[in-house]
Amino acid sequence: AKRNVLITGCSSGIGLALAVKMARDEQKRSKVYATMRDLAKRAALEEAAGGRLGTALEVKQLDVCDEQSIKTCVNSVPDRRIDVLVSNAGKGFIGPIECQTIDEMKTVMDTNFFGLVRLLKEILPDMKKRKSGHIVIINSVMGIQGILFNDVYAASKFAVEGFCESLAIQALKFKLQLSLIEPGPVVTEFERKALEDGMKMDLSAADKEIAEMFTNIYLKNYKRIFQSLRQSAEDVAEHTVKVILAENPPFRYQTDTLYTPMTTLKYADPNGDQPIDIFYKMVFHHDSLQCKS
């Protein structure tokens, strides 16, 4: 029988690429429920899905911040059977905390962390009853190691890690699988939106040193990293398909080997000083950045 795959945040980026890749499977192993918050943004997905639309892929409304929308969507899937849940919807957020409101921070937590919790409250009980299911979360290397001016975003992704590590123990008891996909930088709308918001951020609440650090070091570096060290959404989708189809999928999977030294260092130093020291040097003593600490 075909596996039902429900993916969130499919109007762009990794979600769109993954939905299309799963639907195009030549062996036709999956039925994809590609969901998005705003159906008015469905054109790009529909165009990319082409002939698979309506058969291997259906588009549905789902807002991860709205419990009722999740329930309505899950109820519309035959027998509510979701074999693979891909929690992908997410939101980037950069800047000095002095310039971010608590409400903005809550929106990031609400989307990136509580979005996953809401999905699982609706879907996990059915998976447990059936004793089958795979929960795949598009998290981030920033769920393992924090980075300058990503304080709240990293916190939201760390929350997902702690939640999933705890849940994975219970999942094992019910023969369910849980996988965290940890991409590094990926060129998507995410990057464009975060950078755009960062550029127009009102920095008047920050002191001069912090404002300069954000504009002259961080934003410049951000552009450089995304221009040179990025992956494409298709590439991340390709890795995610492998994890979905694997017989014994891993709990953590990094899509970009460039970032494994960063996470390895984190695990290698129980005191936690080394990664912080390395990031400090990278940011403040990087020759090309021409900056004094």
Which residues are part of a known binding site for substrate?
140
Q: CB nearer to ligand NAD: give 185 or 206.
A: 185
Q: Which of 4, 30, 111, 177 binds ligand NAD (CB under 6 A)?
A: 111
259 as an active site residue: the answer is: no
- With beta carbons less than 8 A apart as the criterion, state whether 235 and 181 touch: no
| Shortest reach from residue 15's CB to ligand NAD, in Å | 6
Question: What are the structure tokens assigned to 13, written together?
Answer: 């980026």
Question: What type of residue is 274?
Answer: Q
Taking CB under 6 A as the rule, does residue 188 contact ligand NAD? yes
Q: Which of 21, 52, 60, 91 binds ligand NAD (CB under 6 A)?
A: 91
Nearest-angstrom CA–CA distance, 121 and 165: 16
Q: Which of 5, 15, 82, 262 binds ligand NAD (CB under 6 A)?
A: 15
**Can you list the positions of beta strands (E) in the chain?**
3-7, 30-36, 57-61, 84-87, 134-138, 177-182, 186-187, 231-232, 252-254
DSSP collapsed to 3 states, 95-120: CCHHHCCHHHHHHHHHHHCHHHHHHH
Known binding positions: 9-37, 63, 140, 157
According to DSSP, residue 3 is labeled E
Instruction: Determine the size of the site formed for ligand NAD (CB under 6 A).
Output: 27
CB atoms closer than 10 angstroms to residue 101: 10
48-77 footprint of ligand NAD as x/- string (CB under 6 A): ---------------xxx------------
Taking CB under 6 A as the rule, does residue 240 contact ligand NAD? no
Nearest alpha-carbon partner for 33 in 70, 72, 59: 59
Q: CB nearer to ligand NAD: give 67 or 126.
A: 67
Residues in touch with ligand NAD (CB under 6 A): 8-9, 11-15, 36-37, 63-65, 88-91, 111, 138, 140, 183, 185-186, 188-191, 233
